Amino acid sequence: MAPSRLPPALCDAKPARMNTSVPAGEGELICKLDALGIPHRTFAHAPVFTVEESRAVCAHIPGGHTKNLFLKDRKHGLWLVVAREAVAVDLNALARQLGAARFSFGSAELLMAMLGVPPGSVTPFALMNDRDGRVRAVLDEGMLALDPLNFHPLRNDRTTAISSADLLKFIRATGHEPIVLHLPERA
């Protein structure tokens, strides 16, 4: 995969923001991928907000396409579930499998506060904005067999492709240890 890199001067400079509560953007993500030695390729496209829209707009992008679910449990635990786009995750069974209280979707406000992205832009790359490690990452085991994997680079009008091994490397570099599971599916 041919890497798409920012000019070195942009990545070599220290971030101008002093307030670390301000979420990282696409430029900081690309610099982090480069710093970790992760090859990546980014494709521009029309904004997409749902898996259905993504199927229509991003069908030309090679590799595994994904969906990302930002969840909270009844005990206020926060979860990011990353799966193949076709997997119909059984959230009740998944909560039982993880030993979590019943899942519901996190609000747009909670998503922005925890991962620094709005609905429609949810991505495992946003874990770099969870500096306190409050969100637990759950990855679809079957997804990791696909290469490359495609995710939004903190915005929904782009898709960035990386390898599954590099996804794991990236997540661990953010201070999160991903939980890899065979996700239960709805019948």
Q: pLDDT digits over 19-28, tens only?
A: 456 788 999 9
In this structure, the number of other CB atoms found within 10 A of the CB of residue 163 comes to: 18
The tens digit of pLDDT for each residue in 47-88 reads 998 888 888 888 889 999 999 999 999 999 999 999 999 999
54-58, 92-96, 126-130, 168-172: lowest mean pLDDT where? 54-58
Write down the pTM of the prediction.
0.89
Ordered structural domains, the chain, with CATH = 8-181 (3.90.960.10)
Check if the beta carbon of residue 43 is closer than 8 Å to that of residue 172: no
99-102: list long-range contacts, CB under 8 Å, 24+ apart: 100/73, 100/75, 101/73, 101/74, 101/75, 101/77, 102/73, 102/74
Q: Among all chains, which residue has been given the structure tokens 């993880």?
A: 98
Q: Of all residues in the chain, what percent carry a pLDDT higher than 90?
A: 79
27-36, 59-68, 165-174: lowest mean pLDDT where? 59-68
Check if the beta carbon of residue 32 is closer than 8 Å to that of residue 53: no
pLDDT of residue 143 exceeding 80, the answer is: yes
CA angle, 21 then 73 then 166, to 5°: 60
In this structure, the number of other CB atoms found within 10 A of the CB of residue 177 comes to: 11
At 146, the amino acid letter reads L
Handedness of CA 34, 22, 171, 109 (dihedral sign): negative
pLDDT of residue 13 exceeding 50, the answer is: no
